[in-house]
Amino acid sequence: MSFRETVRVLPHRTMRSLFISLSHRRSLARLAVRSPLTRPVVARFVAGETLDAALPAIVALQNAGLRTTVDVLGESVTSPELAAAAVERYLATVAALSARGLDANVSLKLTQMGLEIDRDLCRNNVMRVVEAVETVNGFVRFDMEDHTKTDATLDIWRAAHDRYAQVGVVIQSALRRSSADVDAITAAGGRVRLCKGAYDEPSGVAYRTKQAVDANYARLMERLLLADAHPALATHDPRLIARAIQIVEREGIARDRFEFQMLYGVRRDLQRMLIDRGYRVRIYVPYGMEWYPYFMRRLAERPANVGFMLRAVLHEEARRLRGR
């Protein structure tokens, strides 16, 4: 059986677990980033490795009627200096977006701000970004990472939201706790981006089947829409999108009271269909050198490009070994 055939017949959950695991392999990250063979595939999901490279993509999206939120790629930094550098990249991004009249809307991960080093360090770094966003009347969303970071992320979100209302947070329908979290966030006047979740979580804290994750997403989505909580519905699932439209039309919910969100480079057909029907669509636009973990999670969610990516990385490793 060929490599491509092997990839195709592996169960989806096995593939997901494999690529989530690989996303933490720093040695593979170094190989992937150096290899020119990965770039055509990565370019589908990542707007560029620098801010200057990403800005034309952001402009093109907004010219096409799409809104954007920008993610400066990076996570799980290992020193205060790396966290400080990430803050500076966000400050430069917010300033550049505002100066060009683009959406001053960014998304960030707390481990990139130093959460795994020191919580106070992380909070201080986050507040620097929030202050910059507040200065230009923008919006910042805290991405949710694996379940071990949920409580800390929500605690820092509350502190930031108390300072500036335009700070949102992500909730994952894969987690069993998310129903209670949605209630607490909406009660505090917070805004939720609802997604399914891109991490391979244990069964004690997460639903392990697609059916259960989807069912919980549908329940939480309806609750957020009916609560008039300005939710961001982050999904590429046509069935869930159709369900959202059904609720909106049945309840007479104005189209400026929610938005759909999708990833850069994923389901452009759905993006266009929703825009043409008058719905708001925001695209999550990542850029930066630290694209490897993000990209591997995209492969875990959508294995169509798995074969190409793995062959490229393995080819680069074989060349390295031959050159010893």
Catalytic residues: 143, 193
Structure tokens, 184: 């607490």
Distance CA 198, CA 72 (A): 18
Structure tokens, 232: 């961001």
| Cα dihedral across residues 124, 172, 46, 139: positive or negative | negative
| Cα dihedral across residues 91, 97, 103, 107: positive or negative | negative
Instruction: Find the distance separating the first CA and the last CA of the chain, reported in whole Å.
Output: 30
What is residue 139's three-state secondary structure? strand
What is residue 136's three-state secondary structure? coil
Long-range contacts at 90-95 (CB < 8 A, ≥ 24 apart): 90/129, 90/132, 91/128, 91/129, 91/132, 92/51, 93/51, 94/129, 94/132, 94/133, 94/136, 94/138, 95/132, 95/136
Structure tokens, 155: 């605690």
Structure tokens, 299: 């492969």
Tell me the sheet residues that pair with 194.
171, 233
Distance CA 173, CA 264 (A): 21
Residue 269: half-sphere exposure toward Cβ, Cα within 13 Å: 2
Contact 144, 170 (CB under 8 A): yes
